[in-house]
Structure 1
Amino acid sequence: MSRITPRLYGLLGSQVPAMALSASLRINIIKEVANRLESEDWPLIDLTLEQFGLPTSPTWSGSIHAYLIEHVSKGNDAQLTEIAEHVGYVVEQPGASVVTDPEYWEPEHFRVFLSHLSVHKAFTAELQSELLRYGITSFVAHNDIEPTLEWQVEIERALRTCDSLVALLHEGFHASYWTDQEVGYVMGRGQPVFAVRLGQDPYGFIGKFQGFNGHGKQVSEIARELFDTYRLNKQTQTHMAGAIVRMFERSNSFANAKYYVGLLEDLGYWEPNFSIRIKKAAEENGQIESSWGVPERVNALVDKWGGT
């Protein structure tokens, strides 16, 4: 399998060079690789580990996340560097002591690249705002890149580190060289791509991905449909569920607590530690504890899913 990282706009990057990793950097890479692969099915996880020369086990009684931590940690520095590049966790400069993520991603949120035409940047910015309500941070090139930064480099960084891409198919989308390149890049990384029909139908490779009809819908409706897809899609449901649990834990108002417990109730995926975490949050976060009806709904979730 080729381990040459795909490059945006028709360029090819060089193979990841071997480099000495500090203990801190190894920990960061191991943790991030586990976070980004845990939503995959077992066969694909083992295939990925094997392709990078990492060990696998025929049986395992713990969580997928624990499995990945255990087996990825056995890798040498070169293997860790390569698999980090594969999942989009980028070491900006060989020999750097830290791995950096772009500042425009909200920490511990699900990351979505919004591929759009510049003439529709206001619509895209509104969708970006609505998605935040669901634990989804999104990248809008015309709003998130500082004028002093190199445009192409920053777009490429966002494409390397996103968890998914949504193509906003306004009329003329296919005529844009940039949007097709963005879609192709994320497809090449194996990350999920979705399309919203807003005047143009899906075409080419985009046509085989799930599409949504955006005609006549409020932006808030489109945001909810995307969240519903991410919470149910096998490739994204683990990461999406984790983001909602974290949002609930950090509820800073009674209204937030009620809103996020509602999203928890909608999840189609659950890990045993989620029950422990939301129970603890209901006991220690005053906004959750004192929000009418929320502690009872937390208990109902724990009873439903178990895990304590």
Structure 2
Amino acid sequence: MIAEVVDHFDIDLWYQQQEPAKYLRIFTPATLKSADFWKHDYLRAFVSHLSSNRGRMSALKANLANWGISAFIAHEDIKASREWRDEVEAGLETMDVLVAVVEPGFKESDWCVQEVGYALGRKVDILPLRAGVDPFGFFGKYQGIQVKGKLPDRVANEVVQALLNKPHLRARLLQCIAKAFATLPSKKKIDLIGILDSWSIATDQQLQVLLEQASLSDFERKHLEGVIVRVGAFKHPEPATQTVDFDDEIPF
């Protein structure tokens, strides 16, 4: 109704001509602040959690980064000089997935509940981590992962496995993983590639591309030889053979 009145009386045009400042404030869509806390070319995961759970969240963030997932942890990623509510909103508006650490007190937290509601409204993927409490309300349709008593590295692995099982995220996440693996020390890289292969989620072709993009050293190739041979990674294409037509009618 309001939109029809504005259109009928050209109220927006009047403001644009007579009160430019008010026109910009009222009729120009709000611009989102730059969400510069995300790591470039990584999957963006907003982690909704209680502020009392900071230590474990920091460890979870570090382990997710090994898998090419940039986790937004409010207490770490918001600079003191910025309005934290604006930064949280920017994170929610630009996230690819929401990871909710559902533990006692989560349901009573206005902020956690609103963050989940924001994700539901945007229809982004939600992955609950069940740490003593089950998802509830509209959020209850997501079964999530049981994480109570598990160490952060194992939780991170299970988060990645769950996200890779979503077909619409798989190809992009594998690209992010390859980028992250290229930066890891040898032991960690070899271990995580072995874990990824054991899940049997990625196709041989996808693993081939990942291995070729992961900047493997000779040492790493030797330890991963079985996987490399199986998926056919690092094979140089056979040179095309040219056929020559002989004409017996041409004299020497």
Normalised by the size of structure 2, how large is the TM-score? 0.70
Q: Which residue of 1 aligns with 2:24?
A: none
Alpha-carbon spacing, 1:235–1:184, altered in 2? closer, same or farther (3 Å): farther
* C-alpha distance in 2 between matches for 1:119 and 1:290: 42
What is the count of residue pairs matched by the alignment?
205
2:144 to 205, 211, 230: 211
In 2 relative to 1, CA 272–225 (structure 1 residues): closer, same or farther, beyond 3 Å? closer
Distance in 1, matches of 2:99 and 2:209, equals 33
Aligned equivalents of 1:235, 1:104: Cα separation in 2 = 24
Report the CA distance shift for 1:294/1:272 in structure 2 as closer, same or farther (over 3 A). Answer: closer
Once the two structures are TM-superposed, the CA of residue 141 in structure 1 deviates from its matched residue by: 0.6
- Structure 2 match to 1:254: 186
Alignment of 1:105-116 (within 5 A): 105-116=38-49
8 A contact 2:32–2:90 mirrored in 1: no
Structure 2 CA distance, aligned partners of 1:198 and 1:277? 32
| 1:119 paired residue number | 52
Instruction: Report if the CA contact (8 A) 2:103-2:130 is conserved.
Output: yes
Report the alpha carbon displacement of residue 253 of structure 1 after superposing the two structures with TM.
Answer: 3.8
Question: 1:218 Cα shift?
Answer: 1.7
Cα deviation, residue 299, structure 1: 3.4
TM-superposed deviation, 1:294:
2.8
Contact 2:205 2:231 in 1 (8 A): no
Identity of aligned residues (%): 27
Q: How many Å separate the matches in 2 of 1:277 and 1:212?
A: 26
RMSD of aligned alpha carbons = 2.9
Q: Shift in Å at residue 288 of structure 1?
A: 2.3
Work out whether residues 288 and 294 of structure 1, in 8 Å CA contact, stay in contact via their aligned partners in 2: no
Amino acid at match of 1:301: V
Say if 2:112 is the partner of 1:179.
Answer: yes
Return the offset for 1:145. 0.2
Mark the runs of 5 or more structure 2 residues left unpaired by the alignment. 1-28, 239-252
**Is contact 2:135–2:143 with CA below 8 Å preserved after alignment?**
no
Match of 2:169 in 1: 236
Task: Answer whether contact 2:107 2:113 (CA < 8 A) is retained.
Answer: yes
Match of 1:162 in 2: 95
Deviation, structure 1 residue 255:
2.4
Counterpart-to-counterpart distance in 2, 1:205 and 1:154: 25
Match for residue 57 of structure 1?
none
Give the superposition deviation at 1:158. 0.6
1:144 is matched by which residue type in structure 2?
Answer: D
Question: What is the alpha-carbon distance in structure 1 between the residues aligned to residue 106 and residue 98 of structure 2?
Answer: 14
1:1-308 pair list within 5 angstroms: 92=32, 100=34, 102-248=35-181, 250-251=182-183, 253-265=185-197, 266=199, 268-270=201-203, 275-276=208-209, 278-279=211-212, 281=213, 285=215, 287-291=216-220, 292-295=222-225, 297-302=227-232
| Separation in 1, partners of 2:230, 2:93 | 39
**Separation in 2 of the partners of 1:252 and 1:198?**
29
TM-score, normalization: structure 1?
A: 0.59
Larger-Rg structure: 2
